[in-house]
């Protein structure tokens, strides 16, 4: 037996958004059925950043993602976030693969938001607003384009170069630079910023809008005016993580929103335990914190694809 | 930049017990000085076993160990426990190395017990008792032989073949098969079993003995008659882990021993915050649960040795 080693380029070549959407959805179903598990993330804080260990298991796969946030990295020519995955056979614990998980993280985050949009956005949604046009933005557009007939992407970023880069990466799609207010007036809005202050004002959001609030992933971060949450049907990926570190964490801590006000988690929508959008006038919000079952499901997908392709390095690890 | 990949054979060739003892001791010092950290282990339970993610940082290194216990593995020709390490640069989070950590775990466990013996056993200890002569036994003997003039190893195991294998692995040392009672009558005793019932009786233990209780690492496991603990100076590696899953966990849960009865942790002995053994008649116990700062310190050692040796595989991982 041997262990596959897959670098970022290999992983990137093996991933395709439709597959990722499928396995992310399956992971949530397995979780709601008690066939998947994830203990809480553990945080390791160091002088210049932090690391998170994210273990999880779904049927056929167990593993851990080791991912960091080091905000001073770009000045040294390194990404702020890097991720590595150890994928194990759940039945024997044999390490099946070691792989870069930076691309996995980008894909699964976008896939989960698109799945949320499937249940929460209006079916005929045609405009996609992007607030924060960094790297995650292109994955969000690709994921949503799989599930919706997106006619126009309206992108805002405080750096115009970021919007230009997004448009260049999405050749063939209509990407228009605009203000945050214009982006917010889209059918589906994805907020993808590292903000600690609301970037989306309540008065900008039309009836019928669905918002994927993706940026907030740590205590103190928020992107939405809390008034939006108070008016919206709010769905989370994991209620434990959302209350502590997701979009709702700040309004929960200040008393403007309660954890009990959350309508459902994504797994409940996917399994049909609760309905998603029930009317065209609702405002809906998906609070995405990023969960470990998404990672393990996509890591397993990458492993299967790598074995099929035969293009991979193997080592005698253990 | 690239990432080193080190399999079990490479790691094994790079490890030397004196170095491991040194870096394990340094890790405990750093921890007591607030320069190291380790959040609690997180457990992922699957159908046929469990996994633990053990993140930690010491000066110059951060990382996570992914280690399992799958008791049905031997029937399939696989080890019960396998471990993999991701070692990162703490300042940038760049993944420095991916490596097998099964040998690292074996070495660091023995090194920590030998360090405990340095502070807790009588200086002139000459006999080393082994109760449970599995794979860890040989590492315990090698580690103790670095710090003590061991004249005789007295080994008990319910499988005589295990004692024969230990003797064969330690050619040149005097290893004598004996009963558990005879092993317990040694100057230093290491209990290395997966027992859920005491294997060491109170009346077997002489005044002046030091015991390293290494086997208990999960709730419900224990190796010592609780009367031994009540009479002994008890030192732990990590008070949080010991109370929950170490040798003291069962007597703590039944009220026969209290967490407050623990005398000190190993770091306090190493840094001199508390004295170790103060008289030849004391019975002393080190409750070893295995801590993540040991792993990260040894993983860094392996990485440094691999870079010096130049014998390693590198990949473009992230």
CATH assignment of B3-104+293-315, among 3.30.1780.10, 3.40.640.10, 2.60.40.10, 3.30.540.10: 3.30.1780.10
Please report residues of B whose CB lies closer than 8 A to that of A64: 44, 51, 53, 64, 66
Give the list of residues 6+ apart from residue B184 with CB closer than 8 angstroms, or none: B129, B131, B200, B201, B204, B205, B209
Q: What is the mean pLDDT of residues A251-274?
A: 97
* N-term to C-term CA, chain A: 9
pLDDT at residue B310 tops 80? yes
User: Distance, in angstroms, between A195 CA and closest chain B CA?
Assistant: 22
CA distance A189 to A308: 37
Contact criterion met (CB < 8 Å) for B51 and A55: yes
Catalytic residue at B135? no
CA distance B318 to B316: 6
Looking at residue A44, its pLDDT comes to 96
Contact criterion met (CB < 8 Å) for A92 and B83: no
pLDDT at residue A1 tops 90? no
Looking at residue B34, its pLDDT comes to 97
pLDDT category, B218, cuts 50, 70, 90? confident
pLDDT category, B1, cuts 50, 70, 90? confident
Looking at residue B312, its pLDDT comes to 80
Q: What is the mean pLDDT of residues B58-82?
A: 95
Strand order in the sheet with A152-156: A175-177, A152-156, A127-131, A188-191, A210-213, A284-287, A233-236, A264-265
User: What is the rounded average pLDDT for all residues in chain B?
Assistant: 96
User: Distance, in angstroms, between B189 CA and closest chain A CA?
Assistant: 30
pLDDT category, A41, cuts 50, 70, 90? confident
Angle, CA A269 vertex, CA A267 and CA A270 arms, to 5°: 65
Looking at residue A311, its pLDDT comes to 73
Looking at residue A221, its pLDDT comes to 95
Looking at residue B311, its pLDDT comes to 73
Fold (CATH) for A107-291: Rossmann fold (3.40.50)
pLDDT category, B40, cuts 50, 70, 90? confident
From B55, B62, B73, residue closest to A92, measured CB to CB: B73
pLDDT category, B261, cuts 50, 70, 90? very high
Residues B189, B209: contact at Cβ < 8 Å? yes
pLDDT category, A274, cuts 50, 70, 90? very high
Contact criterion met (CB < 8 Å) for B92 and A102: no
CA distance A238 to B76: 37
Looking at residue A47, its pLDDT comes to 96
A89: nearest Cα among A174, A24, A164, A4: A4
Q: Tens digits of per-residue pLDDT, A225-261?
A: 999 999 999 999 999 999 999 999 999 999 999 999 9
User: Distance, in angstroms, between B38 CA and closest chain A CA?
Assistant: 7
Q: What is the mean pLDDT of residues B201-224?
A: 96
Q: How many other C-beta atoms lie within 10 A of the C-beta of residue A258?
A: 11
Interface TM-score (ipTM) > 0.90? yes
User: What is the rounded average pLDDT for all residues in chain A?
Assistant: 96
Q: What is the mean pLDDT of residues B94-116?
A: 97
From A46, A84, A318, residue closest to B317, measured CB to CB: A84
Please report residues of A whose CB lies closer than 8 A to that of B9: 316
Please report residues of B whose CB lies closer than 8 A to that of A82: 93-95, 318
| A3-104+293-315 and A107-291 in the same fold | no
Q: Which residue of B has its CA nearest to A7?
A: B317
Strand order in the sheet with B127-131: B175-177, B152-156, B127-131, B188-191, B210-213, B284-287, B233-236, B264-265
Chain A, chain B: beta-carbon pairs less than 8 Å apart: 159
Looking at residue B307, its pLDDT comes to 96
Fold (CATH) for B111-290: Rossmann fold (3.40.50)
- The percentage of residues in chain B with a pLDDT greater than 70, rounded to a whole number, is 100
CA distance A226 to B18: 58
The domain segmentation of chain B, as residue ranges, is 3-104+293-315, 111-290
């Amino acid at each position: 037996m041997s262990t596959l080693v897959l670098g970022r380029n290999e992983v990137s070549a093996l991933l395709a958004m439709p597959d990722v959407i499928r396995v992310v959805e399956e992971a949530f179903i397995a979780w709601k059925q008690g066939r998947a598990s994830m203990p809480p993330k553990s945080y390791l804080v160091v002088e210049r950043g932090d690391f998170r260990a994210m273990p999880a298991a779904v049927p056929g796969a167990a593993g851990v993602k080791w991912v960091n946030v080091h905000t001073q990295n770009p000045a040294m020519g390194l990404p702020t976030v890097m991720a590595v995955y150890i994928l194990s056979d759940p039945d024997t614990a044999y390490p099946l693969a070691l792989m870069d998980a930076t691309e996995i993280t980008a894909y699964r985050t976008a896939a989960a938001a698109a799945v949320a949009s499937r249940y929460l956005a209006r079916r005929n949604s045609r405009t996609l607003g992007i607030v924060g046009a960094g790297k995650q933005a292109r994955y969000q557009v690709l994921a949503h384009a799989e599930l919706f007939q997106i006619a126009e992407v309206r992108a805002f970023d405080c750096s115009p170069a970021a919007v230009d880069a997004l448009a260049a990466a999405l050749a063939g799609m209509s990407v228009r630079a605009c203000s945050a207010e214009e982006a917010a007036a889209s059918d589906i809005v994805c907020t993808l910023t590292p903000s600690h202050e609301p970037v989306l004002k309540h008065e900008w959001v039309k009836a019928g809008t669905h918002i994927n609030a993706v940026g907030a992933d740590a205590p103190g971060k928020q992107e939405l005016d809390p008034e939006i949450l108070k008016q919206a049907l709010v769905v989370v990926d994991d209620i434990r993580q959302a209350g502590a570190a997701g979009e709702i964490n700040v309004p929960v801590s200040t008393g403007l929103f309660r954890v009990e006000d959350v309508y459902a988690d994504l797994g409940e929508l996917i399994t049909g335990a609760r309905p998603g959008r029930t009317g065209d006038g609702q405002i809906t919000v998906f609070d995405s914190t990023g969960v470990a079952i998404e990672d393990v499901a996509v890591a397993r997908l990458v492993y299967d694809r790598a074995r099929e392709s035969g293009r991979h390095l193997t080592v005698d690890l253990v």
